[in-house]
């Protein structure tokens, strides 16, 4: 009898795991079918002018993704910041921009978004060229952790949303890291869908990364922030900001790179 009970329990557990994807998608379909709150529309109009320029079908898809994202992800205010719908909606719309036309996984490793009023200080150990470790405090506007957290400065989030053409957007940057971290540690190579895509991705992004490092070393002006020369993970996050906010310049000055990101994000921002 105990063996039979254990077998039944094991079978139920297997069935539960097999059914989880179905029930998750069923729940998400119901969320996407809900009406988008009127007050959220007002927040988008007031805080995120980027959305108004998008085609109607992408705007609808974006709002449907937001309904799922906001139902599944927890927001936590830090340093006395009270989380409001304005904060949640402003962050969510920019995070969901990266999910358009792609399989709706909704950042599976992400559990919560921590929001500070402004820049926050973190303490990092930096090793110099002589191998000596230094404890250095750094003020950041955003950070993405593979342990399931994104941390944002509300001040910088608002600034990034308010100016959609300057190529700088901390929310896009940190959520690009989340996509990268779906494979484990961020390394500039997110899940591309097909194995054949990785060779071209590595060739194009590797060449562009090396070119940015050279320009940064010689203090030569570039479309991309020198911060992107730090490592391949930061490069991917930086070029994602530019892809969404300055697509024409990227397409003109770095056409191969633009094609790679357009294929990855399944979008062509030049069309809106």
CA gap 111, 207 in Å, rounded: 34
Bridge partners of 149, per DSSP, are 112, 145
Which pLDDT belongs to residue 195? 85
* Pairing of the two strands 74-77 and 112-116: parallel
Q: Which domain holds residue 212?
A: 187-272
pLDDT in tens, 225-262: 999 999 999 999 999 999 999 999 999 999 999 999 99
Q: Identify which of 153, 161, 140 has the alpha carbon closest to the alpha carbon of residue 90.
A: 161
- 186, 201, 220 - which closes a domain: 186
Share of the chain above pLDDT 90, in %: 79
Does residue 6 register a pLDDT over 70? Answer: no
CA gap 112, 72 in Å, rounded: 9
Report CA-CA distances (Å) from 136 to 129, 133, 191, 233. Answer: 15, 9, 33, 21
Does residue 14 register a pLDDT over 50? Answer: no
More confident of the two residues 126 and 187: 187
Same domain flag for 103 and 132: yes
Looking at the structure of the chain, the number of domains it has is: 2
Tally Cβ neighbours within 10 Å of residue 164. Answer: 18
Q: Is the dihedral angle over the CA atoms 80, 178, 54, 241 positive or is it negative?
A: positive
* Residue 11 confidence class, pLDDT cut points 50, 70, 90: very low
Same domain flag for 14 and 117: yes
| DSSP structural state of residue 193 | S
pLDDT in tens, 111-136: 999 999 999 888 766 554 455 565 67
């Amino acid at each position: 009898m105990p063996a039979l009970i254990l077998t039944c329990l094991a079978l139920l557990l297997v069935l539960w795991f097999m059914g989880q994807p179905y029930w998750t998608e069923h729940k998400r379909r119901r969320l996407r079918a809900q009406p988008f709150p009127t007050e959220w529309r007002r927040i988008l109009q007031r805080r995120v002018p980027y959305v108004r320029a998008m085609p109607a079908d992408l705007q609808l898809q974006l709002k449907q993704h937001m309904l799922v994202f906001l139902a599944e992800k927890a927001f936590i205010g830090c340093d006395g910041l009270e989380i409001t719908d304005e904060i949640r909606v402003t962050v969510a719309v920019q995070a969901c921009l990266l999910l358009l036309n792609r399989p709706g996984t909704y950042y599976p490793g992400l559990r919560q978004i921590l929001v500070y009023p402004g820049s926050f200080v973190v303490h990092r150990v930096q090793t110099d060229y002589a191998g000596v470790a230094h404890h250095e405090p750094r003020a950041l506007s955003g950070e993405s952790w593979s342990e399931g957290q994104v941390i944002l400065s509300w001040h910088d989030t608002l600034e990034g949303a308010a100016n959609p053409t300057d190529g700088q957007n901390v929310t896009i940057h940190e959520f690009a890291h989340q996509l990268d971290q779906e494979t484990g540690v961020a390394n500039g190579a997110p899940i591309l869908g097909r194995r054949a895509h990785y060779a071209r991705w590595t060739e194009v992004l590797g060449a562009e990364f090396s070119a940015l490092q050279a320009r940064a070393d010689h203090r030569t002006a570039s479309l991309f922030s020198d911060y992107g020369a730090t490592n391949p993970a930061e490069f991917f996050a930086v070029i994602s900001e530019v892809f969404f906010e300055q697509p024409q310049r990227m397409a003109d000055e770095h056409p191969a790179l633009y094609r790679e990101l357009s294929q990855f994000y399944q979008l062509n921002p030049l069309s809106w």
